[in-house]
Amino acid sequence: MKRLLFISMTFELTVLCLSSSLLCDGELCPKVISMPLVDNMKASLKADIDVSQINKYLKAYIKQEINTEIRTIMKDVVEELTENRTSSMKEENVSRQEGKRLNESCSTARECKETLICENRYCQCRGTEHWNGMQCLGNSKGVQFTIVFTEKGYVKETKLLVASKKGGLLSQYTFFNNRNKTTRFTNTQYSLDPLDNNVIKDGIEKVGIEVQSSIPISLYGIQDRDNGGSTEAYMAIPRKYLSTNYLLPSFKVYSSAADSALTITTTEDSTTVKLNLRMEKGPLRYKNRNYNNNDEIILVLNKFHSFKLSHSSDLSGTTIQATKPVSVLTSSKENKVTKTGGNNELLEMVLPLNQIDHFYVIPEIVTRPSSTVRVYCPEETTLSLYDGNNRLTKHVDGRKFIDFTHRKISYIHGNHDFLVMIFPHELPDGTGTTFMMTIHGVNQYMSNYDFAVPAIDDLKSHVTVCVKSSALGGFTLDGQPTTIDGVYSISNGTDRYSTFSFKISPGQHNISHTGGARFGLWVYGENNAYDAYGYPAGIAFKTNI
């Protein structure tokens, strides 16, 4: 009997020790069962065993094993999902790049070259889209946009600038508190106040606004700070042109007060986002963990959530891949390019990789004698550069970039598509700080632009045009012929391109070419209080891709 009691006591103590620190939930926890202590000896002695302790232990053990297994396989599953999605898109794009051209017969759109659709058994562009010999191009107008601003704590005000030939209604929906607001816009009422909660700090937030218009519009976002130094703006990319694959353009970080940052905003639920980091200096610290070059951060975000990641070193070359379309902002607070003048915010909405080009003409920035142009290459690329005096050939590895000093007009050609940003050099005494502006490719020029110029902070604004030299005549501004002065030209060996600039007043404007020539157009401005901004007036986006 003593031996039997010893066995039973040992069993009970073992169970209690294993489960004493574990919680028990559920209806089975308080129950006990009665069983013979030693049934084979037909003993009448029985013992009650409290199965709640066993339940606690088993439940905690199973939960622990499941969580361990999930952590082990989750990273591989997400990576495989993202890579499969990217690989599938690449295979389809390669197939369509080799497809039938405009006006060739077809049965389905898959037979047609990328951006074409199959309509009436022929490969065609949609509606009024333009075929440039390689792809169909639409304009940069849209009816649905996602808007977010950066640098929470620095920004004093934000504005939405609307451009359209006709008036209409603009509806806003805030992600944070589900508020709605509808405002009428006209030719004179074009600068609108966005709803609150549109400025993000580091981390994940449900922040930003969805903008919908009753008619197609060009839309720009501009942010401003008290006492200058954080005014910047960007051209908003319509929702229909957002995509799943991006390369981050950023810039070197000037001081400890500056940073390099990216902001990703989702448009659909259950969006998996994978960042593959590239940085000038590491490590980058996120959620108590250090990350270095080629390390990955994987997130699963629901609709209308934004993720901002900043670092004390340049993040240029970081890749962003998502399973569903997202928007991407690049930003840098209190930065500068040279040692002259003051600091300013850098801010742009990033073009998806399916919306970049292989041939660019860099226009003049009429208010600055020089600028830094940065060229970002998603894959290994050979570049040919010419600034009117020097011809250079550069080999750039994938996800790397090169900088060069630009003055009046330059061109760049590559054997693969690449991305270009311009950073005008500062002027002394706060008369012109730097800003970040997207330069789009020659193949993305349009022949007609509706655009808006901001009316805040006493900004003095200009527009710059880049066009084939043979089409210099024929420009109209708001229906009136323009006077062209101060033209600079360059030849790429086949065609000759020219650039010129003129002052522009705040408000809505239209610039077009009477002969239908396609040209690039950029809007930028500055004041004497350390403010500056710049953005493309519009871009001919590739469609149906």
* pLDDT value for 9: 38
Q: Is there a domain that residue 81 lies in?
A: no
Q: What is the CA radius of gyration of the chain?
A: 30
Q: Are residues 19 and 145 in the same domain?
A: no
Whole-angstrom Cα distance, residue 86 to residue 321?
8
Number of structural domains in the chain:
2
* pLDDT value for 202: 92
* pLDDT value for 4: 38
**Model confidence over 386-437: pLDDT tens digits?**
998 899 999 999 999 999 999 999 999 999 999 999 999 999 877 789 999 9
- 3-state SS string over 40-102? HHCCCCEEEEEHHHHHHHHHHHHHHHHHHHHHHHHHHHHHHHHHHHHHHHHHHHHHHHCCECC
Whole-angstrom Cα distance, residue 173 to residue 212?
9
* pLDDT value for 8: 37
Q: Are residues 361 and 498 in the same domain?
A: yes
Q: Is there a domain that residue 316 lies in?
A: yes
| Strand bridging mode 180-185 / 232-235 | unpaired
* pLDDT value for 251: 96
Q: Which residues of 483-506 are buried (b: 16+ CB within 10 A; e: fewer)?
A: eeeebbebeeeeeebbbbbbebeb
Q: Are residues 44 and 166 in the same domain?
A: no
Q: Which two tokens stand for residue 231?
A: 């005014």
Q: Are residues 42 and 152 in the same domain?
A: no
Q: Is there a domain that residue 87 lies in?
A: no
- Render 269-282 in DSSP notation, one character per residue: SSEEEEEE---SS-
Q: Are residues 500 and 373 in the same domain?
A: yes
Report the run of H or E that residue 16 belongs to, with start and end: helix 2-19
| Strand bridging mode 507-513 / 475-477 | antiparallel
Q: What are phi and psi of 124, to 5 degrees?
A: -140, 160
Q: Is there a domain that residue 27 lies in?
A: yes
Q: Are residues 43 and 143 in the same domain?
A: no
Q: Is there a domain that residue 382 lies in?
A: yes
Cβ burial, residue 47 (10 Å; 0-12/13-18/19+):
middle
Q: Are residues 480 and 374 in the same domain?
A: yes
Q: Is there a domain that residue 119 lies in?
A: no
Q: Is there a domain that residue 400 lies in?
A: yes
pTM for this structure?
Answer: 0.80
* pLDDT value for 75: 54
Mean pLDDT, consecutive 10-residue segments, the chain of 545 residues?
Answer: 38 36 39 49 52 65 64 55 52 58 89 85 82 82 95 80 96 93 95 90 94 98 75 96 98 90 97 98 95 97 96 98 98 90 91 97 97 98 94 97 97 98 91 94 96 92 98 96 95 93 98 96 93 96 81
* pLDDT value for 495: 92
- Which residues of 303-370 form beta strands (DSSP E)? 306-311, 319-335, 344-349, 357-362
Q: Are residues 337 and 446 in the same domain?
A: yes
**Model confidence over 112-132: pLDDT tens digits?**
887 788 988 899 888 768 787
Q: Is there a domain that residue 98 lies in?
A: no
* Containing structural domain, residue 33: 2-59
Q: Which two tokens stand for residue 343?
A: 């600091």
Whole-angstrom Cα distance, residue 103 to residue 542?
18
Q: Are residues 164 and 54 in the same domain?
A: no
